[in-house]
Structure 1
Amino acid sequence: MWDAVKSMKNEGLVSLATFASVFSSYVSFDKVKEAVLTFEVMDQYGCVRDIVALNTLISAICREGKTIDGLEFLSVAKSRIRPDLDSYAILLEGWEKEGNVSLAKTTFDEMVAEVGWDPANVPAYDSFLSTLIKGKDGVNEALKYIDILHQRKCSPGIKFFRDVLEDFQKVGNVRGAELIWKAMVEKVGIRPDTEMYNLMIELYCSKNYTDTAKKMLDEMVFTGAFPDMQSYNVLFHFLIKNRKLKDASVLFNEMVKNEFFPSKTDCIAAVKIFLDIGDPYVAVKVWKFMIENYDSDLDETGNLLINGLRDANMLPEAVKYAEDMIEKGIKVTSATLSRLKHSLSREKKDGVYEELLRKWKSS
């Protein structure tokens, strides 16, 4: 490796990128000491040992999960090269990856002492708070430091809040998410985007707090975020799943109006449930949407609708939708046809059945 570096020096090709590669090679083979010695001889190869070079070495060390070595190197090197914001941001990112709350606090305190408070130091604040929140009493610890940052006119960025909300959504931590959301909106003044609203909507829905999820959906437009396909589909899915069917019916109308179409799976479930509870009119509305917007896997739901209308004493409607299915090439089963025959015969409408059978056979 060094033969190549010497050859590059003779040709005037050595740069910081050259040494960055050497640092990474040494550290990846657990030779941090050799990487540090390489840093010490950089100037002999025409490269300045400045803060950029120092941060490059610290970054190489921390990437390999050896943040403690990076901290020890900085504690020695800072007597010659003054650390900057990036120096500490790199170390704090390392502690975040390693989950070391204690040393993250130590590094944060040293950072404040060395370089002070700076509103631009968002990556460092993000990493520090992300480490704290995963530790013991993490939410309260993070909120405490958000207050401290706020007092110094500093704050974490939207990335921290988005990542935390995503983590809390995955584990179902409603209380933690609400506290972080409040700090983000009221303390820091960040406007949540659509993705962040969707995380909260899904979290509330997963805990059966669909009323609160609907309030979040309604609130979005007033804060500059707008519902998207996911916003509507998540809420519709859980309203159907939890049989909150009046709300589901209202939301379905809103979705279709705004051209955020519900998934086929949820539509199938909706048709079945609305038939089960004796509300065939909404079931028909959902079915009409399905045949206008989906062109496959409709047979089972269509036959379910026909039989449901028949059972609800809506025989003319059952025949109408059977004819419509046949015309559109959606399979009406012989069992469904047999049930219609029985009902039509009882109503002395054998001619209607014969016409339906003729269309069925010719399809």
Structure 2
Amino acid sequence: MWDAVKSMKNEGLVSLATFGSVFSSYVSFDKVKEAVLTFEVMDQYGCVRDIVALNTLISAICREGKTIDGLEFLSVAKSRIRPDLDSYAILLEGWEKEGNVSLAKTTFDEMVAEVGWDPANVPAYDSFLSTLIKGKDGVNEALKYIDILLQRKCYPGIKFFRDVLEDFQKVGNVRGAELIWKAMVEKVGIRPDTEMYNLMIELYCSKNYTDTAKKMLDEMVFTGAFPDMQSYKVLFHFLIKNRKLKDASVLFNEMVKNEFFPIKTDCIAAVKIFLDIGDPYVAVKVWKFMIENYDSDLDETGNLLINGLRDANMLPEAVKYAEDMIERGIKVTSATLSRLKHSLSREKKDGVYEELLRKWKSS
């Protein structure tokens, strides 16, 4: 490796990127000491040992999960090269990845003492808060430091906010998500985007708080975010699953109007449930949507609808949709036909059945 570096030096090609590669190679083979020694001889190859070079080495060390070595190196090197915001942001990102709350606090305190409070230091603040929140009493610790930052006119960024919501959504921590949401929106003034609203909607739905999820959906447009397919899909799925069918019916209409079409599996479940509760009109509405937008795996739901209409004493409608299915090439089963025959015979409408049978046989 060094032969190549010497050759590059002779050709005037050595740069900081060259040494960055050397640092990374040594650290990846657990040779941090050699990486530090390389830093010490950089100037012999025409590269300045400045803060950029120092941060390049710290970054190489922390990327390999050796943040403690990066901290020790900085504690020695800072007597010669003054650390900057990036130096501490790199270390705090390392502690975030390693989940070391105690040393993150130590590094944060040192950062404040060395470089002070700076509104531009958002990456460092984000990493620090993200580390805190994973520790003991993490939410309260993070909220405490958010208040401290605000007192100093410094603010965490959207990365922290988004990462926390993702983590809380995965573990189902509704309370933690609500507290952070309130702090970041009301105190910091961050406007959540659609993806972040979706995380909250999914979190609420997963805990069966569909009413609160619906409020989040309605709130979005007033904050500059707009529901997308994911917003509607998640909420509709859980409204159907939890049999909040009045809300599901309203949301279905809104989805179709806005061209955010429900997925087929949720439509199938909706048809079945609306028939089960004796609301065939909404079931028919969902079925009409299905046949207009899906062209496969419709047989079972179609037969379910026909039988449901028949059971709801809507025999003319049952015949109508059976005929429509036949014309569309959707299979009407012999069992469904048999049930229709029985009902039509009872109503003395054998001719209607004969015509239906003729169409069925010729299809």
- Counting matched residue pairs gives 363
Deviation per residue, 1:333-352 (Å, 9 max, x gap): 11111111111111111110
Q: CA deviation at 1:155?
A: 0.9
Aligned to 2:296: 296
Aligned residue for 1:90, secondary structure, equals helix
Q: CA deviation at 1:50?
A: 0.4
Deviation at 1:255, TM superposition (A): 1.1
Task: Provide the C-alpha distance between the structure 2 equivalents of 1:230 and 1:20, rounded to a whole number of angstroms.
Answer: 42
Distance in structure 2 (CA, Å) of the matches to 1:169 and 1:4: 49
Percent of residue pairs identical: 98
Deviation at 1:250, TM superposition (A): 1.1
User: Matched residues in 1 for 2:216 and 2:111: separation?
Assistant: 38
Q: CA deviation at 1:257?
A: 1.3
Deviation at 1:281, TM superposition (A): 0.7
Q: Which residue of 2 aligns with 1:269?
A: 269
- After superposition, what is the alpha-carbon deviation per residue over 1:133-188, rounded to whole angstroms, capped at 9, x for unaligned? 00000000000000000011111110100110111011110100000000011110
Distance in 1 separating the partners of 2:234 and 2:9? 60
Per-residue CA shift, 1:107-156, capped at 9, x if unaligned? 00000111111111111001000000000000000000000000111111
In the TM superposition, structure 1's runs of 4+ consecutive aligned residues that sit over 2 Å from their partners are none
SS of 2:131's equivalent in the other structure is helix
Matched residue of 1:65: which SS?
coil
1:358 Cα shift? 0.7
Aligned counterpart, 1:127: 127
Instruction: Tell me the distance in 2 between the aligned counterparts of 1:211 and 1:18.
Output: 57
Aligned to 1:137: 137
CA drift at 1:195: 0.5
Q: How far is 1:259 from its partner? A: 1.3
Q: In structure 2, how many angstroms separate the alpha carbons of the residues matched to 1:6 and 1:260?
A: 61
Residue 266 of structure 1: how far off its partner (Å): 0.4
Deviations along 1:206-232, one digit per CA (max 9) or x if unpaired, are 111111111111101111100111111
How far residue 14 of structure 1 moved from its aligned partner, in angstroms, is 0.7
Corresponding residue for residue 105 of structure 1: 105
**Alpha-carbon distance, 1:251 to partner:** 1.0
| Per-residue deviation, residues 221-250 of structure 1 (Å, max 9, x unmatched) | 111100111111111110100011111111
C-alpha deviation, 1:271, in angstroms: 0.2
Q: Report the Cα offset of residue 256 of structure 1.
A: 1.1
RMSD: 0.6
TM-score (norm 2): 0.99
Query: What is the alpha-carbon distance in structure 2 between the residues aligned to residue 35 and residue 167 of structure 1?
Result: 35
Aligned equivalents of 2:151, 2:67: Cα separation in 1:
29
Alpha-carbon offset, residue 36 of structure 1: 0.4
Which moved further from structure 2: 99-108 or 247-256? 247-256
Match of 2:194? 194
Task: Measure the CA separation in 2 of the matches of 1:166 and 1:25.
Answer: 33
Q: Distance in 2 between matches of 1:213 and 1:8?
A: 60
Calculate the TM-score normalised by the size of structure 1: 0.99
The within-5 A match list for 1:169-318 is 169-318=169-318
Deviation of 1:72 (Å): 0.4
Deviations along 1:16-37, one digit per CA (max 9) or x if unpaired, are 1111111111111111111000
Q: Alignment partner of 1:243: what SS?
A: coil
CA distance in 2, matches of 1:28, 1:165: 32
User: What secondary structure does 1:127 align onto?
Assistant: helix
In structure 2, C-alpha distance between the alignment counterparts of 1:208 and 1:269, rounded to whole Å? 18
Structure 2 CA distance for aligned equivalents of residues 232 and 13 of structure 1:
56
Match of 1:151 in 2: 151
Distance 2:20 2:334 in 1: 73
Question: What is the rounded CA distance, in whole Å, between the counterparts of 1:68 and 1:302 in structure 2?
Answer: 64
Alpha-carbon distance in structure 2 between the residues aligned to 1:312 and 1:186: 51
Q: Counterparts of 1:3 and 1:286 in 2: how far apart (Å)?
A: 72
Q: Secondary structure at the match of 2:353?
A: helix
CA distance in 2, matches of 1:5, 1:214: 61
Q: Give secondary structure in 1 for the equivalent of 2:49.
A: coil
SS in 2 for 1:80: coil
